[in-house]
Amino acid sequence: MKTILEYIGNTPLIKVEEENDSSIFAKMEGFNPGGSIKDRIALNMIRNAEKEGIIKKGDTLIEPTSGNTGIGLAMVGAMLGYKVKVIMPDTTSVEKIKMIKAFGGEVILVENLRYKKFAIEDARAMAKNGAGLYFLNQYENMNNPYTHYKSTAEEILNQLEGEQLDYFVAGMGTGGTITGIGKKLKEKFPTIKIIGVQPARDERIEGLRSIKDGFVPPIMDVDLIDEIYDIEESKALETKDDLAKKGILVGPSSGAAMYICREICKNNRRVNIITIFPDRGERYI
């Protein structure tokens, strides 16, 4: 009998829709036990830290997160015997906060602007202030993109059933997803275009960050990305709601990515586009 952690990964790949003789595929990461793609990196960052002897059961793991990584860490931590403390912006959906607390995690809410500027430094300072505290640091931890290179991208290639890919569209947060998957897909399809999606200036889309804010996560391979699209929150939410009416309940970052996929379809014929739907929509209702 498997444990819940053994059901992380191997999520479905679906054809969302066809338009202009083109197809849009999506990796449905909401099917992970904790409801998002971040379950993958939560498990692998913890397991790697264990292998290196950096952490042991009973320790407290600290992480700044807009929500999904916190949920993943709290779930995995509950299974493996770790306490979890997360720093979150005060704009985070109440559903995400409740989920983290349900798994036994502690939530520290900070003003959104401070979160953007100082959350990483705050987490690093907290980890230095006591024994048994460890900052996993998804923004700098190379196990983040490596997880997607070795698992998520490999799953995609196995699920494509011979289909060629012309575009990979992904929302940008830590940069782990677009970097890890993008690198693997470039190896398989050298001409594929890697497209990043970020919030437009002064816009907020939960789960995404803009590198125009002045912070480029160290793990993000910007040179891998062919083009970056800015998107307004309203368009992301409208697309999310439209997907729900078609039976696909996902979050705002999925709506943002899907909107850009549709824009690419309008301007290109006979192309295959793949994107990531990072989480489920229930946590945003």
Catalytic residues: 38, 253
| CA 6/CA 196 separation, integer angstroms | 30
| CA 143/CA 245 separation, integer angstroms | 36
| CA 179/CA 4 separation, integer angstroms | 27
Please say whether the beta carbons of 255 and 243 come within 8 A: yes
| CA 13/CA 7 separation, integer angstroms | 16
Starting at the edge strand that comes first in sequence, how are the strands of the sheet with 227-231 ordered?
A: 13-19, 22-28, 272-277, 167-171, 193-199, 227-231
| CA 65/CA 88 separation, integer angstroms | 5
| CA 263/CA 140 separation, integer angstroms | 32
- In 73-151 the beta strands, taken as DSSP E runs, fall at 83-89, 106-110, 133-135
